[in-house]
Structure 1
Amino acid sequence: MMTPAALNGFGSLISFILSISALRDWAKLLIIGSFFETCRRLLATLWSSTIDSFFLTASFEDYDDSYKWMMIWLSKQPSWKNVRNVNISTSERYLGHAPRSEEELDPSGKPKVSYLPAVSGSYTLWYKYTWMRITRISEPIPGWGPNNRDSLTISILARNHDILNTILQDAKKAYQDAQGSSITIYVSDSTNCWRELATRRKRPLDSIILDPGIRELIVDDAEDFLASKRWYAERGIPFRRGYLLYGAPGSGKTSLIHSIAGELELDVYIISLSRSGLDDTGLSELISDLPERCIALMEDIDAALHNSLSREDPPTPPNKTAEPIPIPSPGLPTHTTSRVSLSGLLNALDGIGAQEGRILFATTNKYSSLDPALCRPGRMDLHVEFKLASRHQADELFRRFYLPSSPKTPVDDDQEPNSNPAQSHPNGSTHDGGSSNLIDLGIPENTVDSPLPSPPACSEKYERVAPTYIGMRHRGHAPKLSSEQLSALAAQFASAIPEREVSMAALQGYLMSRKSRPLEAAREVSAWLQRELATKKAESETKS
């Protein structure tokens, strides 16, 4: 309790302070300033609340698929062409990847430009009688050099989410229509984030020629898995499926995966275990960030983890010394190799953080070198062997190769429409004009595969030397074959192929070199096989 003397002293101090006119003026300014600042903040909050009650704001980041939806949707809006500040682009990244119609191409056959929101700009447009403002921002990623992260913000004059849901549905449909007959390929970057690499056209399933039943086995199993999410949930089983495709190189493993991705309309995420700088933690992050419906692809898994998967380096011959390991020079950048271990891979595949709903495909050419823990059910549920080509596959490949072209395939300008169909072709085939069962390969028949053109005239002091090359030129025109002729040639071709001696890739390469000469392809395959098998034998003896 303060004494009367203390109270008198405190009162005297206050009186002294108030007697100073400058301090009184400062106190008045402080009070007035605080009052106006409080009012300003209240008004700003009130204004923001009022605006928020009438506007709906949505943000889209470039690492999310919805960002691509909106960019494609905006590029297709008619009102967007009236915007005064835009980015011009012919890139397919935001324009879709479906085959372009003639209206979307200029007279030279190149794609037309499209309008996209310029960075750091705001634009207004009307959509279905609704006003909206669009802002696109690009910000650098700290610590990652020149990389930027884009975002798109849309403010809509609306009280509820109905118009936003409509826009999202329209944008998604526009994206799906733009994708058309394509699938998207993703790879991981140095920050362990998924980035779009490219788009590829869907490959028809019937273009993959395998032993009977293999294609149907994998496709039916994958379709049944994708439709069984509820069944897995009711039984508490992780909703994951793994396929291990093993066998000889060039037997169609990767081609089948490409075709299945198109058939099931799934994007492909390539997991490169040998990527520089990738470790167990980064691998777990990548797999946990996979979307629910996708294909995760690990190619040549035996080679990617040769140390962990018991694929040892070949011993150094006694008459040779080991090559010294190069030492990087000071000041030059060094690249760290992958540090993924087998245990890290196993935990990433079926650990607690592993994504569910994805389909994993792994390929290998050396099945026996894989660790049993990697191949067990739950990680690799279905193991399918791909063998070298059979006679059945050779027959089907030949028929597929020389099928008639699509009616929409453009015909060369030098085709003569009134040429006599009942003529003997230079390669020895004859065909009767007017037959309804003729197979037209879509290539003019009146032009034969000619030798290389002679070099242009030059001074006699220079020697004329014909160019030297290896392989068959991508030129020539095929005859018209009837169905019976094609069947006979396919049978002749297949009968010359030994069972399980050459790969389908080798047969396809052989037919590619004779893509317009089916008679030669069937007649010369035996000689080609002798050379091919002799080369393989020599390579095998060299390795041993």
Structure 2
Amino acid sequence: MGVIPHNIPSLLSTLLSFSALREWFKLFIIGGAIETCRRYYSNLWNWVVERFWLQVTFDEDDCSYEWMMFWLSRQPAWKQTRSLEISTRDYGLTSPAVCIDGEDEERSTSREMTYLPSLSTSYSMWYKGHYVIITRTSVNNGIYRTKENLHLSILARDNSVLTEMLMEAKNLYKAAEEMTVAVYASNVSNNWRRITSRPKRPLNSIILDPGIKELLLNDARDFLDSREWYADRGIPFRRGYLLYGAPGSGKTSMIQSIAGELGLDVYILTLSRPGMDDNTLCELISELPRRCIALMEDIDAAFRRGISMRNLQENEYEPEPEEARQEKGKAEDASRVTLSGLLNALDGIGAQEGRILFATTNDYAALDPALCRPGRMDIHVEFKLASKFQVEGLYKCFYMPSKNEEVVDDEKSDDSGYASRDPSPERALSEAAPDTIDGSTGATISTSGAFVSVRSSPRGITLSGKKICELAAQFAAAIPEREISMASLQGYLMMYKVRPLDAIVDAPEWVERERAEKAARRRKAGTKPSP
């Protein structure tokens, strides 16, 4: 048995005498050198990338992601790319896109197809002399959805080219939505997502009693221009409007028109959304932009308890059926927003400033006074059923001739032609048919002169503005004051789009049917089920 060396040099000499160990030692030295070089060059590459490449990431939940995706879909460079994703998504906009050849002819009748970068694939393009690498990725964001990100790598020494690209994308997006109102809603992740764009509605298309439109619009415009005035006096920079009244009286349409006039986006707060609670509501309101409209529709129906006092008073001593209790329990489990949580979100310490709040309700008396006080709902406006003034204005809005229509002289206009009843087969059939037709399914179909197809009515010379004003007064005389909603009147006139005289002739009969239907609904609502 050999002698074990007792000093280090002799120990190393003994170990190196083994050939296998010498080879492992060489590999260790070479591997360490290679790893050192790899790390050095990796750090050098990262340094070069940091100095010469801009790395940008856009999150799907952010508005800038929509700007960039909209901008990329309009780039002609995608027509030469070999790997693409074909999408009909318009990101809430209706601006012309870089479409597939042949799509221009079908753009008015179908959803257009656009080119977009495919997921998990890198693409390159040139932008103002700078090389750009684009990558879309998708990652799991919980159980129910995936989340997309957009990564851009730009070969540039400074951020100026990135700023130009972002401003170009933003301006292109804003130009495409110039005539629209963006509508946002919260998703399951409690982030605001753009869901659609609505065309801006001209203020003159909203027919209300004199002074109401001007009051709301001027007050909202004055509020947006008074930030310094509020700050100097220590008043929270918030404004709330409560629009109440009969259904179909124009509350939501007025809000849409104000949003278009002021250039504001609309953020819908659905208090009855499943999973909504006080903390979620406060978080959503705190994330609102400084200049926007927050909309709470039908706020009286958003709660089962805590905000509506009438239901408790009316049903305090009545036993509740089992099915009703189950439905109530499901609703309470779905939404856990309380009145105190709503009040705190509206004007608490974490409430967002700069926003305009619009709330609508059909039952003003059912709201808690704490919700309606100034500071939360500063201006209360009642929207009533149609007045004579509104009826006349709506008639003019439907039939007043446009600039491109040929107008007949007043002396030549009479009760003939396209403006009067057409003795078509459809008309004769509707007049000969009984008032209702009961099928085997129990459905009831009401028939009247208004059921005539618009296409079956001949188009003739448009009546003059003076004649339309005279007919509008006659139509207003046939409609009772404050009995019918503007939505019902609009639905009625839609059946007479090219027959203004028939609309007047058939109005009394239609009014009687409306009264009968309202009476039937009231009787049905007032009938309690037998035990």
**TM-score w.r.t. length of structure 2:** 0.83
Q: 2:271 aligns with which of 251, 270, 273?
A: 273
CA RMSD of aligned residues (A): 3.5
1:168 shift after superposition: 0.9
Q: 1:345 aligns with which of 342, 359, 362?
A: 342
1:234 shift after superposition: 3.6
Quote the residue 1:518 is aligned against: 500
Quote the residue 1:441 is aligned against: none
Are 1:470 and 2:456 counterparts? no
1:317 shift after superposition: 9.6
Q: Which amino acid aligns with 1:144?
A: I
Quote the residue 1:482 is aligned against: 464
Maintained 8 Å contact 2:419/2:498: no
1:389 shift after superposition: 1.4
SS of alignment partner, residue 219 of structure 1: helix
Cα distance change, pair 473–149 in 1 and its aligned pair in 2 (3 A): farther
Quote the residue 2:384 is aligned against: 387
1:30 shift after superposition: 3.7
Maintained 8 Å contact 1:97/1:182: no
In 2, the alpha carbon distance for the partners of 1:135 and 1:449 equals 64
In 2, the alpha carbon distance for the partners of 1:449 and 1:270 equals 48
Quote the residue 2:290 is aligned against: 292
In 2, the alpha carbon distance for the partners of 1:445 and 1:211 equals 28
Quote the residue 1:233 is aligned against: 231
1:47 shift after superposition: 1.4
Maintained 8 Å contact 2:420/2:501: no
Q: Which amino acid aligns with 2:134?
A: I
Quote the residue 1:139 is aligned against: 139
Mapping 1:143-182, distance limit 5 Å: 143-145=142-144, 147-182=145-180
Which shows bigger deviation, 175-184 or 147-156?
A: 175-184
Are 1:20 and 2:20 counterparts? no
Question: Unpaired runs of 5+ in structure 1?
Answer: 1-8, 410-416, 432-443, 456-464
Q: Deviations over 1:259-299 (max 9, x none)?
A: 11122222211111111221111111221222222211101
In 2, the alpha carbon distance for the partners of 1:257 and 1:449 equals 42
Q: Which amino acid aligns with 1:519?
A: L
Cα distance change, pair 234–43 in 1 and its aligned pair in 2 (3 A): farther
Quote the residue 2:105 is aligned against: 106
In 1, the alpha carbon distance for the partners of 2:316 and 2:174 equals 54
Q: Which amino acid aligns with 2:137?
A: I
Maintained 8 Å contact 2:95/2:176: yes
Maintained 8 Å contact 1:249/1:503: yes
Quote the residue 2:311 is aligned against: 312
In 2, the alpha carbon distance for the partners of 1:373 and 1:107 equals 54
Which shows bigger deviation, 534-543 or 147-156?
A: 534-543
Cα distance change, pair 89–101 in 1 and its aligned pair in 2 (3 A): closer
Quick one: percent identity of the two aligned structures? 49
Higher helix share: 2
Quote the residue 1:403 is aligned against: 400
1:129 shift after superposition: 1.9
Are 1:116 and 2:119 counterparts? no
Question: Unpaired runs of 5+ in structure 2?
Answer: 430-438, 527-531
Quote the residue 1:371 is aligned against: 368
Q: Which amino acid aligns with 1:206?
A: N
1:89 shift after superposition: 2.2
1:514 shift after superposition: 2.3
In 2, the alpha carbon distance for the partners of 1:421 and 1:116 equals 55
Q: Which amino acid aligns with 2:117?
A: P
1:109 shift after superposition: 4.0
Cα distance change, pair 341–449 in 1 and its aligned pair in 2 (3 A): farther
Q: Deviations over 1:360-414 (max 9, x none)?
A: 110011112111211122211211111121111111111111122563x9xxxxx
Quote the residue 2:415 is aligned against: 429
Quote the residue 1:504 is aligned against: 486
Q: Deviations over 1:473-499 (max 9, x none)?
A: 441345521222211111111123333
Maintained 8 Å contact 2:248/2:487: yes
In 1, the alpha carbon distance for the partners of 2:508 and 2:243 equals 30
In 1, the alpha carbon distance for the partners of 2:366 and 2:148 equals 44
SS of alignment partner, residue 185 of structure 2: strand
1:338 shift after superposition: 0.8
SS of alignment partner, residue 190 of structure 2: coil
Which shows bigger deviation, 116-125 or 194-203?
A: 194-203
Maintained 8 Å contact 1:98/1:182: no
In 1, the alpha carbon distance for the partners of 2:96 and 2:52 equals 41
SS of alignment partner, residue 125 of structure 1: strand
Q: Which amino acid aligns with 1:523?
A: V
In 1, the alpha carbon distance for the partners of 2:389 and 2:98 equals 39
In 2, the alpha carbon distance for the partners of 1:334 and 1:325 equals 11
Maintained 8 Å contact 1:58/1:153: yes
Maintained 8 Å contact 2:426/2:452: no
Quote the residue 2:435 is aligned against: none
Q: Which amino acid aligns with 1:484?
A: K
In 2, the alpha carbon distance for the partners of 1:519 and 1:498 equals 18
**TM-score w.r.t. length of structure 1:** 0.81
Q: Which amino acid aligns with 2:446?
A: I
In 2, the alpha carbon distance for the partners of 1:369 and 1:199 equals 32
1:227 shift after superposition: 2.1
Mapping 1:253-272, distance limit 5 Å: 253-272=251-270
Q: 1:302 aligns with which of 294, 300, 303?
A: 300
In 2, the alpha carbon distance for the partners of 1:232 and 1:10 equals 90
Maintained 8 Å contact 1:120/1:138: yes
1:25 shift after superposition: 5.6
Maintained 8 Å contact 1:90/1:113: yes
